[in-house]
Amino acid sequence: MENRLSARVRNIKPSATMSVDSKTKALLAEGKPVINMSVGEPDFDTPTAAAFAGIKAITNGQTRYTAAAGTLALRQAVARKLMTENGLQFAPEQIVISNGAKHTLYNVLLSICDDGDEVILPAPFWVSYPEQIELAGAKTVVVPADASTNYKITPEALAAAITPRTKAIILNTPSNPTGAVYHEDELLALGEVLRKHDIYIVLDEIYERLVYDVKQTSLAALCPDLRDNALVVNGFSKAFAMTGWRLGYVAGPTDVIKAVSSLQSHSTGSPSSISQAAGLTALSHFDPSVVETFMHRRDVLVEGLNSLPGVTCIVPEGAFYAFPDISGVIGKSYEGRTISSANDYCELLLEAALVASVPGDAFGAPNHVRFSYAVSDDQVAEAVDRMRQFHQRLS
């Protein structure tokens, strides 16, 4: 058999973040004191009440299939959350619970895209977006942004990217990898462009609770006339430290949500009944002190990065990532090894300083590096110290 694998999987690029995380964990298993700033996983625990709700679900025998779209109780709770916290009115029938926000996004793209459709993707972007778009048969149309706009696309750039083949745009705010947050005036300006076109607006708001000194607002709330085309994606992994529970959701127009539910019923079936029970409790147990903790870590890391020769870093307004530009380091060498790319930089930083990070090429931004500050305060400070020593040895 000439091609034992399908073309769709042959073309998939491995997740850069997962690849670095695997290398890091291998070094940790060898006893190396690596500081893992490569993966987007909070270092605090799932809320105790939510964890016990999961345990209770197990001991009470809530271990069977639920409805494909998720339990009615959780969908009702998500609907209340969207109304009270985001100003968005959705019925439980307009919500589907899935196995994480990543799974949710994939369900959405498979449900709205046909072969040859185009999906607009602002860059820098999360590494899985383009792969999911391609798996859905669509084409990724990248709209780049840089530090001059705090890594946010302009209305003019968006308008120029829209064609008759455009099916959707993915807007991630707060952003992974940059931490950029679109402000209300910026969202309204993008809305002015979008209301001239009949395209889907996929709003990835997984980091919505993790914002610093700014207000997080959903475009769907600011522009209610666009609600029929808006799909709001969120989950429990980041704000509630429930990465391993695998729980996410989407709210949107009834026809799309029915399609997402039908698709899910034939792929994964229902989400975990136990995770849903935990998520139901988690929604009322968010700890706002984690925002203060992340903000402190952000300030220490960004100040440290900006003190390094050849490195510049904007202050992220959300999520838990710093995304410095290391262009000033390209061409320098470390112990005879030339740094020709962000990939070289990250490899050397891991080998020499035992600090794990992810090269920006995977996010559509060469000469950048993503650092996650979802690690302890001490580790953030130690990482900065190790990077400072590493840079002192560059020539």
Side-chain half-sphere exposure of 91, counting CA atoms within 13 A: 7
Q: Is a pLDDT exceeding 80 seen at residue 252? A: yes
Position 25 scores a pLDDT of 83
Give the per-residue pLDDT at 311: 98
- 21 pLDDT above the threshold of 80: no
pLDDT in the model for residue 7: 85
Supply the pLDDT for residue 26: 84
Looking at residue 74, its pLDDT comes to 98
Between 11 and 132, where is the model more confident?
132
Instruction: Tell whether the model's pLDDT for residue 200 goes beyond 80.
Output: yes
pLDDT digits (tens, 9 = 90+) for 220-242: 999 999 999 999 999 999 999 99
Look at residue 19 and tell me whether its pLDDT is greater than 80.
no
* pLDDT one-digit tens code per residue, 64-119: 999 999 999 999 999 999 999 999 999 999 999 999 999 999 999 999 999 999 99
SS (H, E, C) the chain: CCCCCCHHHHCCCCCHHHHHHHHHHHHHHCCCCCEECCCCCCCCCCCHHHHHHHHHHHHCCCCCCCCCCCCHHHHHHHHHHHHHHHCCCCCHHHEEEECCHHHHHHHHHHHHCCCCCEEEEEECCCCHHHHHHHHCCCEEEEEECCHHHCCCCCHHHHHHHCCCCEEEEEEECCCCCCCCCCCHHHHHHHHHHHCCCCCEEEEECCCCCCECCCCCCCHHHHCHHHHHHEEEEEECCCCCCCHHHCCEEEECCHHHHHHHHHHHHHHCCCCCHHHHHHHHHHCCCCCCHHHHHHHHHHHHHHHHHHCCCCCECCCCCECCEECCECHHHCCCEECCEECCCHHHHHHHHHHHHCEECEEHHHHCCCCEEEEECCCCHHHHHHHHHHHHHHHHCEC
pLDDT at 201: 98
Pairing between strand 200-204 and 230-235? parallel
Say what the pLDDT of residue 352 is. Answer: 94
The mean of the pLDDT values for the chain is 96
CATH (residue range 64-282): 3.40.640.10
pLDDT for residue 257: 98
Q: By percentage, how much of the chain surpasses pLDDT 90?
A: 92
Separation of alpha carbons 86 and 226, rounded Å = 15
Q: Are 68 and 261 in contact (CB under 8 A)?
A: yes
pLDDT band at 213 (very low <50, low <70, confident <90, very high): confident
**Is residue 305's pLDDT more than 80?**
yes
Q: Which CATH architecture has domain 7-32+288-392?
A: Alpha-Beta Complex (3.90)
315-339 average pLDDT score = 97
- The mean pLDDT value for 131-137 works out to 97
Model pLDDT for residues 149-189, shown as the tens digit of each residue? 999 999 999 999 999 999 999 999 999 999 999 999 999 99
Task: For residue range 35-51, list pLDDT tens digits in order.
Answer: 999 988 999 999 999 99
**Structure pTM?**
0.95
Instruction: Check pLDDT > 90 for residue 17.
Output: no
329-356 pLDDT per residue, tens: 999 999 999 999 999 999 999 999 999 9
Residue type, 343: N
Give me the percent of the chain exceeding a pLDDT of 70: 99
pLDDT, mean of residues 9-30: 80
pLDDT for residue 9: 85
Query: Distances in Å between the alpha carbon of 112 and those of 99, 232, 233, 281, 388?
Result: 19, 14, 14, 31, 47
Q: Where are the domains of the chain?
A: 7-32+288-392, 64-282
CB 364 within 8 A of CB 126: no
